[in-house]
Structure 1
Amino acid sequence: MDRTIIEAGLAEVLRTAWQAPELVLERVDEHRDRSAEAGQPWLEVKYGPSGRRAWHGVVPVTVTTRSTPGADPQRTKLAIKVNPVRGVGETLIPWIVERADIDLPRPYGSFRTTAEARATGEREVHLYELGQAVPALRAVLPPYLGRIDDPASGEHALVLGWVELDGLDASGAHLDWPPHRLEAAARAAACWHAALADHLEELSWAAPRPSTADRVADADLYAAVLEDAHRRFPEVVTDAVLRRRHALLDTLSSWHRAKDELVATLAHNDYNARNVGFAGPRPIALDWEIARIDTPTRDLVELLTFGLGPGFDPDLFHTVVEAARSTLHEQGVPIDAERWRDAVRAEIRAEALDRVGMQSLFETEFALPYFTRIQTTVERLLDLTD
């Protein structure tokens, strides 16, 4: 998005958010590390060509303002978040598939369960605006100051208060949290899950919930990605892993139904330490581009797959799983323990086939530091819940 458009709209956003109708915006200093973008050709694939005046992704800035023309200047750090109009399912993933010569049975965007990665440009705008009316959701978001629109490109810039976060690692190289943080993140998610349970009319902007029928229809996608991963990474996606996941595919229509029977809500859908950090004791979740309607187990199992690590203590798994269920109950969404257990079990299986499976597609291009970790962890989770 053109920086000129963002700067032109920023003063009005701040006047409204800070209730300072005479505010003067004197200067905007960006702290974007352009050198870090060198050698990353996928950035232009995801965001489009980017010149010196274009911003994309998260751009830290410091604004110098005066509340009135004669007041002392104030410097405030903000984050400007610009998402591409098209999602990675329309840009980055097809680019990887072609570049790595991954043999899919049909184009990636034609599968039902890839809707989460398509037409994502407005999701975070809707998410932050919804958060203003839902305290449990607002509690896990950085402060939302407003939005700036570019009608010509269809892009939106979110203006967010800057929050220093501990435990956040976008690279995925450092995913180990102490147990109390895993539990805190699970409880925070359960709070907004409860607040939005069955409020589907407020979530029409999110990607649709994948049903058992959707999963079965896309089984050939999961099988193709699995076979490709086995060929490329046999030391991780071993023969035993291959056999087990094919067995899951063969029985998908029976075990996935436990998810169909659970309440629907808003899922972040990428809820792990690459997108979640802590402001003191409070979890803060970023990057909601692939948010979708799903069951509360979706974010829980994603959190555990990335956060537990291959050598996890089974007692910790059970503690965090029960913490999520008990929080849902406390917030007015009781779920029977056996029904919850079956849904978590189904979610782990779906995680192994879809989310963890699809990470192997990214691994073909980006050498993910967490790739082996999550493949091994999800196998242990399958062992524990079989």
Structure 2
Amino acid sequence: MTDVIPGRGQYTEAARRQRLAWLRERSGTELESLETTGLNAQNLVGNVENFVGSVEVPVGLAGPLLFVGDAARGNVTAPLATTEGALVASASRGARALTQSGGVVTKVLAQRMTRAPAFEFPDIATAQRFTGWLHEQRGRLDEQVRLVSRHARLVDVDPYQIGRHLHVRFVFETADAAGQNMTTAATWQICRWLTDALAGEDGLRPRAMLLEGNLSGDKKVTAASLLSGRGTRVTAECRLRRDVVAAVLKTAPEAMVKSHVTTVLGAQQGGTTGYGVNAANIVAALFVATGQDVACVHESGVSIFSLEMDGDDLVATILLPNLVVGTVGGGTALPHQRDLLTTLGCAGAGGVRRFAEIVAGFALALDVSTMSAVVSGQFAEAHQRLGRARRVDFLQAGDLDAALLQPVLAQGLGDPGLHVARVKQAPQLVGDGISSELGALAERRKVTGLHPLTVTWTPGGGTPVTVDLVAKIKPRGEDIVAGIAKVLSLCGPEVHRAWSRWGPDAEFTDAHRRELSVYRRTESALTDLLPRCYGLLEDDEREAYVILMERLRDDGGPWAHNRIDAVLRAVARVHGHWLGHDQDLLADGWLHRVPEPAHLAKSRELWEALVRHAAADLPGLLDPRREGLLLGIIEEAEHWTQELYALPRTLIHNDLNPRNIAVQDGRVVAYDWELATVGLPQRDVVELLAFTLPPDATAADVDRFLTVHARAVAAVSPAAAALVAGCDWRRGYRLALREFLTTRLALYAAGHTQREFGFLPRLTRTAFRLWHLEQAQDGG
């Protein structure tokens, strides 16, 4: 039995069931309660890893409670997710007492989120000079924040110097988001700018920096947060009539105040931060019910509760100084949590102030009820009985309707009179691509992936036709790069730093534009290999990039020699058409940002970091021998890449593997061209063979396929034939194999430590087999 949880990073029902079976075997329990779940695994990217099932927490309704607050008004019923008996009943009783006395007054006082990087300087004086300089840069700091967030606003910069160490507390307003991620991104941008701005300033430059020096109080109870606030600072107050205290709470105002004084003294002796009864119970129950970050419960549950007499009435107040809540992002988008937020009138933008007031109001109701229970002796008896600078209208699956598709199809088919009559959507295809998953890690508010459609339209002056299509909705290349960064951030600081430095210039940038550009080409060598395209949508305002293509059904045949031959001959037409015209391709600009030739050698630290991490975490995949081999190739990259770029180059698919190929009625179709670039034609051969040949492939197999490919490229034109004859085709293959091993395979291997790629073990064995075959011929 393996000790590795299966299906890492896979968000499918099949992967969930695979993990469930693994857990059953490992634990020896049936786990019948996890057999079914109401959650869709595909919708949980960014919320949970290794998804195996869901745990039901009972949700009870507390209230109604009458609010007369700023944002919360009227009767509110609160859904409390809890397994603690008496909690809902006690909160309801307090709500009834407050409501009968005229309701609870609530007000949000401030909303703040903090991040506090720490800087180390050579000496005290430098730290002090830096502090003065930082105060002078306030306007530029605001500019940096606006670069990464349209919601975050920097409201304070508070430095704390201890010797040569300087902690800087950046304070932000974050609108309707709780803001931890938003402020982290904004602070990181500021720190990057500081590093660049002071690169040549020896008298000011920090010697070292930590993004968080532990001063912000993130997920911790601190006196600083109590005083200055972190999250939403919200207060609630009510005036309880004596008759209501007696009738509902079963005690007297004087007894409540006397007990309050006694418990304050106890809290002081215990060193309690703040003072309260059990506001954290309401915070936790509402957090779980509405998808808040439950790790923030203890800091959010800090409170200052007060009771005093005013004439014959009892005045009760509560302050929650650190309520870390949001109504957008995180777990608030999950179906059950979203429904409950909606019932509170708090879902989405504009809801956070109302939600904070609701939490404070019910926290006050519970504290009043619990205190009265302690005073009257009911406490024990009751318990005995009872997670962009502008607004973007992101494309959603429901937008794939006749109104959206009609102009796309009319333009794509060259028929201005075309009329779309009906669009029927089928469920989104499972396993719609690694790039879509990576994009979703960075941006989950918009839909991506493969969406099957059955569309009926009438051509201008014609008869209706019905066609099965697929709408391929692409993530931005920038989102893919950010998604990879998110995965690699879990691989340790060396990998994360290297990707942060070199990743944005890698082959994934502008991938969305690149694929759309491929489908705009008219060369038959290329269009014959593509799925039929019915139209393209490129809308930067909505960040919507859609290809309407034919719905392909691969015949599922085995990857025998004749099938590999067919693919090689088909892609060879593309290779031969542009062979030797790489500069023209680049000059045309339709491939957008292609990494410069020297990028692979310059980014050596990235590939080395990926290999070292994968070897450390997956020794069965990359043993010391394989690790050493890859590191050796990378070390010599500056030399062999010069030879690689001197050989004839062409347009290549750059991701030519069975996931992106369909063979239908003898016709070879290659899709997913987002990584198309300029490179050696043998690069596509390497990838296809690494994915399709068995790990015991022979040199004769490789010879055969290289011959098939070279002849097919040469057959395209006399110019292509001359280029093929004039270079060492086998040497090009060996150089392309080096490139594949040290870049794509290294990236797959590092990613495999966080997101399981089922194909990778076999691919790795075959790829190294191909390498050893070349070494055996003394040509590597």
Report the 3-state secondary structure (helix = DSSP H, G, I; strand = E; otherwise coil) of the residue aligned with 1:331.
Answer: coil
Percent identity, aligned pairs only, is 22
Change (3 A) 1:105 1:31: closer
Q: Is the 8 A contact 2:477 2:512 kept in 1?
A: yes
The whole-number CA distance in structure 1 between the counterparts of 2:440 and 2:503 is 23
Amino acid at match of 2:675: I
How far apart are residue 379 of structure 1 and its match? 1.0
2:551 matches 1:166: no
From 88, 95, 99, give the equivalent of 2:490.
99
Q: Is the 8 A contact 1:125 1:147 kept in 2?
A: yes
1:205 equivalent in structure 2: 591
Amino acid at match of 1:295: L
How far apart are residue 161 of structure 1 and its match? 2.2
Equivalent positions of 1:9-28 (< 5 A) are: 9-18=404-413, 21-28=416-423
Amino acid at match of 2:712: T
Equivalent positions of 1:29-44 (< 5 A) are: 29-33=424-428, 42=437
The answer to which of 139-148 and 192-201 deviates more is: 192-201
Equivalent positions of 1:25-174 (< 5 A) are: 25-33=420-428, 42=437, 45-46=440-441, 48-50=443-445, 55-67=447-459, 74-87=465-478, 89-101=480-492, 103-104=494-495, 106-111=497-502, 114-130=505-521, 133-167=522-556
Amino acid at match of 1:184: A
**Considering only CA atoms, is the larger Rg found in Structure 1 or Structure 2?**
2
Amino acid at match of 2:425: E
Change (3 A) 1:128 1:68: closer
Report the 3-state secondary structure (helix = DSSP H, G, I; strand = E; otherwise coil) of the residue aligned with 1:116.
Answer: coil
Residue by residue over 1:171-202, the C-alpha shift from the partner in whole angstroms, topping out at 9 and shown as x without a partner, is: xxxxx511111111112112101212313233
From 396, 417, 435, give the equivalent of 1:2.
396
From 711, 731, 752, give the equivalent of 1:342.
731
1:351 equivalent in structure 2: 740
Q: Is the 8 A contact 2:686 2:737 kept in 1?
A: yes
The whole-number CA distance in structure 2 between the counterparts of 1:112 and 1:121 is 16
When the two structures are superposed, what TM-score results if normalisation uses the length of structure 2?
0.44
2:644 matches 1:253: no
Equivalent positions of 1:210-229 (< 5 A) are: 211=597, 213-229=598-614
The whole-number CA distance in structure 2 between the counterparts of 1:89 and 1:128 is 20
The whole-number CA distance in structure 2 between the counterparts of 1:234 and 1:118 is 31
Q: Is the 8 A contact 1:15 1:22 kept in 2?
A: yes
2:575 matches 1:183: no
The whole-number CA distance in structure 2 between the counterparts of 1:31 and 1:17 is 22
Amino acid at match of 2:550: G
The whole-number CA distance in structure 1 between the counterparts of 2:480 and 2:569 is 30
Amino acid at match of 1:58: L
Report the 3-state secondary structure (helix = DSSP H, G, I; strand = E; otherwise coil) of the residue aligned with 1:335.
Answer: helix
Report the 3-state secondary structure (helix = DSSP H, G, I; strand = E; otherwise coil) of the residue aligned with 1:106.
Answer: helix
Q: Is the 8 A contact 1:209 1:294 kept in 2?
A: no
Q: Is the 8 A contact 2:568 2:709 kept in 1?
A: yes
Change (3 A) 1:185 1:109: farther
The whole-number CA distance in structure 2 between the counterparts of 1:252 and 1:307 is 27
How far apart are residue 46 of structure 1 and its match? 4.3
The whole-number CA distance in structure 2 between the counterparts of 1:107 and 1:278 is 39
How far apart are residue 93 of structure 1 and its match? 0.6
Report the 3-state secondary structure (helix = DSSP H, G, I; strand = E; otherwise coil) of the residue aligned with 1:84.
Answer: coil
The whole-number CA distance in structure 1 between the counterparts of 2:653 and 2:501 is 22
The whole-number CA distance in structure 2 between the counterparts of 1:314 and 1:374 is 17
How far apart are residue 153 of structure 1 and its match? 2.1
How far apart are residue 124 of structure 1 and its match? 1.3
How far apart are residue 237 of structure 1 and its match? 0.3
Report the 3-state secondary structure (helix = DSSP H, G, I; strand = E; otherwise coil) of the residue aligned with 1:26.
Answer: strand
The whole-number CA distance in structure 1 between the counterparts of 2:641 and 2:540 is 41
Change (3 A) 1:57 1:269: same
2:714 matches 1:329: yes
The answer to which of 18-27 and 270-279 deviates more is: 18-27
When the two structures are superposed, what TM-score results if normalisation uses the length of structure 1?
0.86
Amino acid at match of 2:676: A
2:577 equivalent in structure 1: 195
Change (3 A) 1:209 1:193: farther
How far apart are residue 261 of structure 1 and its match? 1.5
1:172 equivalent in structure 2: none
1:312 equivalent in structure 2: 697
Structure with bigger RCO (C-alpha 8 Å, 6+ apart):
1
Report the 3-state secondary structure (helix = DSSP H, G, I; strand = E; otherwise coil) of the residue aligned with 1:287.
Answer: coil
The whole-number CA distance in structure 1 between the counterparts of 2:491 and 2:761 is 19
Structure 1 residues without counterparts, runs of 5 or longer: 169-175
